[in-house]
Chain A
Amino acid sequence: AQSVTQLGSHVSVSEGALVLLRCNYSSSVPPYLFWYVQYPNQGLQLLLKYTSAATLVKGINGFEAEFKKSETSFHLTKPSAHMSDAAEYFCAVTPNSGGYQKVTFGIGTKLQVIP
């Protein structure tokens, strides 16, 4: 079964600083990986996804993530944090298979941006 581990349920960064949110996956075969963001009182919005086409994936709002098979990681980064980036971030995984595949979410990381 697939799983993802998000290290750090809370991350605080200063405005303008690097954002690094960690996600490690557990799977015998490289899966599909996603990062979603959830702003207060809203649903989840897709930031980016890895589907084996390229290991460095660029997403919306200046975020990107790099798939590293050797480290089983898919960490999310942004060079310079904005106040508007404060939100909950979920890493998610699905098996690299056909047919319906259930999404498994990580526990989430709450990003706080300090002025």
Chain B
Amino acid sequence: DTEVTQTPKHLVMGMTNKKSLKCEQHMGHRAMYWYKQKAKKPPELMFVYSYEKLSINESVPSRFSPECPNSSLLNLHLHALQPEDSALYLCASSQDPGQGGHQPQHFGDGTRLSIL
């Protein structure tokens, strides 16, 4: 069982739809991340939230809109996606964003997104 919970596990949507991915952790972690993972590739960082504030956006298209309502929740709002956005979207968290790179990230099991 993972300590980072992502919903839904699978999502199929059309290019004109609006949907949201959700992520929740109750470990008291103050850094949360969204990654995109294509098949047979490593995860690619999309966004980093530090103490509920967006600290890093890796030049992600505006059709992806992150939101961090509180320290336990992270959302990714999707609108007008393209077929190439089909991928596994992973959420992760780590303990303290200000304490250096030695902290491992804890990953959820991801949302498998398919764009028709």
Contact = CB atoms under 8 A, between A and B. Distances in A.
The main secondary structure of chain A at its interface with chain B is loop
- What is the interface of chain B mostly: helix, strand, loop, or mixed? loop
B107 A31 contact: no
B46 to A, nearest CB: 12
Nearest to B98: A99
B101 A97 contact: yes
Interface residues of B, number: 29
B48 interface: yes
A100 B97 contact: yes
A18 B100 CA distance: 34
Contacts of A100: 31, 48, 50, 55-56, 97-98
Interface in B33-61: 40-43, 45, 48, 50, 55-56
Interface string A72-98: 000000000000000000100011111
Interface residues of A, number: 28
Given A44-B90, A90-B42, A103-B105, A98 B100 contact: yes
12 contacts: A32-B101, A43-B90, A44-B43, A46-B106, A51-B102, A98-B98, A98-B99, A98-B100, A100-B31, A101-B101, A103-B105, A110-B40
